[in-house]
Structure 1
Amino acid sequence: MNFSKSAFFAGAASVAVSFSSAFAGPLVNQLGFAPDAEKIVVYPGSDANGLEVRDLNGKTVLKLKAPMVYDWEYSGEEVQTFDISAVKKPGTYRLFRGKEYVGTPIVVGKNVYDDLVKASLKWFYYQRASMPLEPQYAGKWARAAGHKDNRVIVYGTDKATGGKGNGQVIKSDRGWYDAGDYGKYIVNSGITVFTLLEIYENFPKYADSLTWNIPREFPKYPELLEEVRYNLDWMLTMQDKDGGVYHKVSTLRFSGSVLPENDKDARYAIIKNVTATLDFAAVMAQASVVYKNIDKAYSDKILKAAEDAYAWAKMHPQQFYKQPADVQTGSYAPGDENGKDEFRWAAAELYRATKKQYYQDDLKQNLFTPDGAWWGNVNMLAAFRVALDSADFDKELVAAAKKTVLNEANNLRAVGDTSAYRLPAFPWSWNWGSNSAMANNGMVLVHAYLLTKDKSYLDGAQQCLDYLLGKNPQDMTYVTGFGYRSPRNPHHRPSESDMVDDPVPGMLVGGPHLGKQDINLDGKENWKCPNYAAADKPALAYIDNRCSYATNEVAINWNAPLAYLAAALEAIYNK
């Protein structure tokens, strides 16, 4: 995600080999399953023995013959896949093969992901800028306030960035640090806030029930909306008087591995542009609907901000962000940007919020494409909105939106049904932040389930979460603090510098891929990682080392779909 480079990586512990290759044990969701969920066990190798599932009293509750052996192209492994979904009685079970106990216990029961949901959401509190994290809320990860951002320089107005004066200054406090670095980025905040608000919109009863010990500024809000508002309030500070929105607040280059309070470089609000402005417009319009019944004054305020932003974007449709040469923090600007997906999403959200016909007219002139969701393409977010809020939109738009969602879900389901690992993943899912791609794939499948009530989509979503929680070639969860084996050395400046052995729990690391951006291939830059991708297999290309900003960084837009996916399965199976 963020192409960040820290100065100090020497001596960090690492895991550069596949656990499954070393131990050849069963690979399974390490947190467990709801009674009615699909339950898949992947076993590397070609053993002729079957699989037994026994309860803790030693009673065999399920016996399966050895299945066929399949190759998984993404790891180069031969594997066998066992379906133990017939085990529905709540309890703890063990797997036996050839009369030998293998792997780790498997839990079946209610609320197996509840703690994960809360931790993945509480992590946003740990990412807060501009305030101290006090021990009664943060525990051993308490820290002083960093980046008060009460004097942020508008880029290009001071002499250091090419201006003639001392610099125009704005106040841009609050908000979440974006990832392992200390920047705050509008584009990434947009899709992140959408995803968190989608938890509330899709599963309001479950969302209302969640509490996870954060300071309460708005005690009448559900805690999820309290946390989201902390970032919305920052986003509001990024809108200029003319309606345009700055791209990001950051220093000119990434800091080293220091605590937030020790990052003292000047902070800049960098360049208004159309994509940041439209992402802002979309999420403010969405939020205005969500907050309307609990805080009408705030809802009205953010809806006006959304409409002002959309009007600015219509006047500046080609004003795209271009990273200045003296800025080296995350760009969040894909090379093929045309703004159509951002206009699509903003128009959909604003029409729902206002019922003003010209927003729907704009959407009709800019119909959905087949693209899935990530920060660089928010087309699917517009499709989600129109498909699920069908009463608000014209029938032809609703039909097109549903087709977009269901086509993507059907393609994912077809892959999941035939994959050796039972993972609904496309070849392009193996990119920077591959774990978020798996979570976003799961989110598509959940939305298909919400539209159709077809459980096969829910099974596909379960497969995505299973991969993130242990059913992968590393035999580990990719979430700090959860499961039997989890990341210990994320690329995350607070974790690198806080002198606490345990990383903050609930962080989803980026995951394996073959980009190799942080690997010391030429031997000239000794701060880079060892070659953890020597096998040239994307599912194996991962290292649990703080050096790996390409595979082991964390980010708000990765945690949000993890929280959504786990919350969805909790809410649906335990209602």
Structure 2
Amino acid sequence: MQMCRYADVRMWGIISFFIFALLHPHICISAHPHINDSSWIRINQLGYTPQGVKVAVWCAKAAQDAATFTLHDANSDKVVWKGRSSGDFGAYGPFAHTRRLDFTAFRRPGTYYLACGGSRSPQFRIGRDVYKGTADFCLQYMRQQRSGYNPYLEDSCHTQDGFTVYGPMPDGTHVDVAGGWHDASDYLQYVTTSANATYHLLAAWRDFKPVFGDRCQANGTGGRNGVADVLDEARWGLDWLLKMHPAPDQLYNQVADDRDHSGMRLPTKDTTSYGKGLERPVYFCTGEPQGLKKYKNRSTGLASTAGKYASAFALGAALYRDADSSYSRLLQGKAASAYALGAARPGVCQTAPCGAPYFYEEDNWRDDMELGATMLGRLSGQQALLRQATDWARQEPLTPWMGADTARHYQWYPFHNFGHYELASASPALQPAMMGYYRQGINAVWEKARHNAFYRGIPFIWCSNNLTVSFAIQCNRYRYLTKDHRYRELEQACIDWLFGCNPWGTAMVAGLPASGDHPEDPHSSFSHLYGYPVSGGLVDGPVYGSIYKSLIGITLHNGDEYAPFQSDLAVYHDDFGDYSTNEPTMDGTASLVYLLAAQDYEARDAFTCSHGAIIRGDSTRRQLALVFTADEFADGGEAIAQVLQKHQVPASFFFTGRFYRDPAHTALIQRLRRAGHYLGPHSDQHLLYCDWNRRDSLLVTQQEFNTDLQHCYQAMAKQGISRGSATWFLPPYEWYNDTIAAWASARQLQLVNFTPGTLSHADYTWPQLSRYRSCDTILQSIMDYEKQHPAGLNGFMLLMHAGVDPRRTDKCWERLDNLLAWLQEKDYKMVTVPRLLQERK
């Protein structure tokens, strides 16, 4: 069975869960029973990346001693980490007491659980791959939402769409708009959400290409077609948008209306009549209030819809420029005509209600025009468009819901302004202003979030999960461009919330993680009528208790498994009868694809690795680690320590066991310890692990490797250096292979090595060697590398030696003072190896 083909959709739904679990064991959860029933530990069920923020939340209904917590290896139950809980944040929702359990400093990959205040968390993983494949997983829901040909059902639906209403042509005129995506569990289709979804999918491909795979054909069925699935899905959206903008002066905004809500059925069995057979109404954009029956919207113009068209078309044109030039030209023309309509008719173009009062009450449009102008300006090179975009940005610097307690349904949409990020990326001169706007919004949310243990500052309005995803994207893109990491914990708290670190302890994405607690009874005809999973769909999320009580037609059918965790603050139900909290949405899922791709990409790209060792830290941050190794020689040790002290710079020293045992070196070792430098292992006897010419040829056995390392740690222990404080290991001769890295990992050590590119490590050579390098040559190589590479020495582990053979009289540590002065003039921050490679706050 191919991964995207559904001959037996019920069976495929079951099988897909197991396949995903087998391929992604890191996201499988094994729940432990609670030791008591009055306190709980909420975690991110997907897991945590080694370098990322790692926080769980302890919550209780009665006072308990929870000042400390422990982290346990899930296999042995041994305590591997002890920490102090945060102060008590007090009541939140159903809980009287809440605390944050921060174990960010622990970064060893493995499977663990937390214990605190008489409670034990479910098991979770720490690993660089915890987000691997999750973005592609969510594309399953996008394919299931396709209108026209539906690959999930291997059948077609809504092929006769549709007939026009409100257009300049006679009402009832046929127009071909088959295709696109159904908006949620109903079968309405909106440009408002579809254009935004298309943009997010295109941007995800542009920004994070390596994380996406190719398992499906363009039509969504199984088999590779040489195009990433995310780009196939984005094109499905683009092709429908092209139909909805058939001429330069014609825009459509919506297919069908709330007459669709006539009962649950599969889209292929949709026989709802709008008075013209199986055709559905297609709403023309007039810029005036619309609504065919009792209720009407408050439209004032075209710009909100036109701007969304323009941004999706322009980004699509840029991405297809080389792959399909004719398609790219078509998209560019459509982007220009849509933007022109928006500029001529400023104002909002809301979706249309009919017999019910619910519609997307979008009240802002400048953000859409800003993004459209930016992307069209970048595509065409027209600076006038970028100036227009800047004007729009200044008129709406803050997405208005941020910092507010409530908002009407989709009142401020999209939920974050991608235009600020795109403008800042297009023009470095605009970056301070645009990112200042982002920071203003983030601060507004943070002022609310910092007072509760979940760091929750997002209002519990309808589609609160969609707001959460968008806000996390804003935090992520702000951090990416500014390198300001002050909001990293807030950003991660939003992601953690979506995957179980919330009062209900459940993930909000159907089927993810595979064996975790996630929506199983969503408001969907697919799952309710036929038991078909809606894998990858992001559900609406919790709403205020007051909103829930005011909604029409909600009835729970299967009890409330989360009853102990409901409150007046917010409710969430995994029950198909609750369309307010448990209905998957297409646009929210598309945004989630972007966010998960960003997490996967960052976890993969945070460090540069070679043969299983980390050889470079984050190349986007202006910091580096000075590394010194030594075995038999230490003649530069004291001079190096003095220069480091002069410049108040920490460094990392990797010594062999025989170096640590030598009494002549004790004073130096203790001085380095007192100064706060990192002291780590460099083997015991300075063994050569593998052949110089045949790297895959080992010269030691695993037993010899382990024994030698054990002896090194014994020597370090006698100097007062614990194994737990020295888990970063630099191999002897700086030479190793993948097997050595695996052996180190099995001992819960992380192999590191110097960053290649300079000649710093050649300071041990002496003139009689053919590979001899003078200190002038070495220092010049460092300066040349810094000048010639855009990232400079960011993330470098710059290795030198603490002692050299007496035959070398040119001692490079004598030039260390000048080197450090130069690095500091270049604004590099020197840190230890653990600090360089740990979570980047």
> Shorter-chain TM-score: what band?
0.7 to 0.9
Give per-residue Cα distances to partners, 1:353-388, cap 9 Å, x unaligned. Answer: 112233223224332421168773347121011112
Residue 8 of structure 1: aligned partner: none
**CA 1:252–1:535 in 2, change beyond 3 Å: closer, same or farther?**
closer
Residue 463 of structure 1: aligned partner: 493
Residue 288 of structure 1: aligned partner: 317
SS of residue paired to 2:81? strand
Residue 174 of structure 1: aligned partner: 179
Unaligned runs of 5+ in 1: 1-18
Q: Does 1:154 align with 2:132?
A: no
Deviation at 1:564?
A: 2.0
Give per-residue Cα distances to partners, 1:198-250, cap 9 Å, x unaligned. Answer: 2223223334x565784379934322111110111011100142333111111
* Maintained 8 Å contact 1:35/1:109: yes
Deviation at 1:40?
A: 0.8
Unaligned runs of 5+ in 2: 1-32, 274-278, 288-301, 402-409, 606-841
Alpha-carbon distance between aligned partners in 2 of 1:446 and 1:151, rounded to the nearest angstrom: 39
Letter of the 1:36 partner, please give it: Q
Residue 222 of structure 1: aligned partner: 228
Deviation at 1:509?
A: 0.9
Q: Does 1:268 align with 2:300?
A: no
Letter of the 1:409 partner, please give it: I
* Maintained 8 Å contact 2:114/2:121: yes
* Maintained 8 Å contact 1:111/1:570: yes
Q: 1:311 aligns with which of 340, 344, 352?
A: 340
Residue 203 of structure 2: aligned partner: 198
Computed over aligned residues only, the root mean square deviation of the Cα atoms, in angstroms, reads 3.2
Residue 511 of structure 1: aligned partner: 541
Alpha-carbon distance between aligned partners in 2 of 1:288 and 1:451, rounded to the nearest angstrom: 24
Deviation at 1:520?
A: 7.4
Alpha-carbon distance between aligned partners in 1 of 2:507 and 2:194, rounded to the nearest angstrom: 25
Deviates more, 1:273-282 or 1:444-453: 273-282
Q: Does 1:90 align with 2:99?
A: no
Alpha-carbon distance between aligned partners in 2 of 1:506 and 1:202, rounded to the nearest angstrom: 21
**CA 1:518–1:130 in 2, change beyond 3 Å: closer, same or farther?**
farther
Identity %: 23
Q: 1:81 aligns with which of 77, 82, 100?
A: 100
Q: Does 1:557 align with 2:590?
A: no
Residue 255 of structure 2: aligned partner: 249
Deviation at 1:547?
A: 1.6
Deviation at 1:263?
A: 1.1
Residue 13 of structure 1: aligned partner: none
Residue 16 of structure 1: aligned partner: none
Matches within 5 A, 1:539-554: 540-554=570-584
* Maintained 8 Å contact 1:448/1:457: no
**CA 1:73–1:353 in 2, change beyond 3 Å: closer, same or farther?**
same
Alpha-carbon distance between aligned partners in 1 of 2:467 and 2:456, rounded to the nearest angstrom: 10
Give per-residue Cα distances to partners, 1:229-288, cap 9 Å, x unaligned. Answer: 011101110014233311111155123101101212331111214122221112111221
**CA 1:488–1:526 in 2, change beyond 3 Å: closer, same or farther?**
closer
SS of residue paired to 2:121? strand
Residue 43 of structure 1: aligned partner: 58
Residue 413 of structure 2: aligned partner: 377
TM-score under structure 1 normalisation? 0.83
**CA 1:188–1:293 in 2, change beyond 3 Å: closer, same or farther?**
same
Alpha-carbon distance between aligned partners in 2 of 1:339 and 1:438, rounded to the nearest angstrom: 21
* Maintained 8 Å contact 2:528/2:576: yes
Deviation at 1:559?
A: 1.1
Deviation at 1:34?
A: 0.8
Alpha-carbon distance between aligned partners in 2 of 1:176 and 1:77, rounded to the nearest angstrom: 43
Q: 2:370 aligns with which of 319, 344, 347?
A: 344
Alpha-carbon distance between aligned partners in 1 of 2:400 and 2:161, rounded to the nearest angstrom: 38
Q: Larger RCO: Structure 1 or Structure 2 (Cα < 8 Å, ≥ 6 residues apart)?
A: 1
Deviates more, 1:301-310 or 1:531-540: 531-540
Residue 329 of structure 2: aligned partner: 300
Letter of the 2:55 partner, please give it: I
**CA 1:132–1:104 in 2, change beyond 3 Å: closer, same or farther?**
same
Give per-residue Cα distances to partners, 1:299-357, cap 9 Å, x unaligned. Answer: 11111001111122233335744736x465963233xx353232222212211111223
Q: 2:391 aligns with which of 347, 358, 365?
A: 365
Q: 1:423 aligns with which of 447, 451, 455?
A: 455
Q: Does 1:496 align with 2:496?
A: no
**CA 1:452–1:261 in 2, change beyond 3 Å: closer, same or farther?**
same
**CA 1:449–1:424 in 2, change beyond 3 Å: closer, same or farther?**
farther
**CA 1:59–1:304 in 2, change beyond 3 Å: closer, same or farther?**
same
**CA 1:48–1:349 in 2, change beyond 3 Å: closer, same or farther?**
same
Alpha-carbon distance between aligned partners in 1 of 2:604 and 2:327, rounded to the nearest angstrom: 33
Residue 483 of structure 2: aligned partner: 453
**CA 1:170–1:23 in 2, change beyond 3 Å: closer, same or farther?**
farther
How many residues get paired? 528
Give per-residue Cα distances to partners, 1:444-494, cap 9 Å, x unaligned. Answer: 110011112334443332211111111100011111112421111111233
**CA 1:74–1:109 in 2, change beyond 3 Å: closer, same or farther?**
same
**CA 1:372–1:386 in 2, change beyond 3 Å: closer, same or farther?**
farther
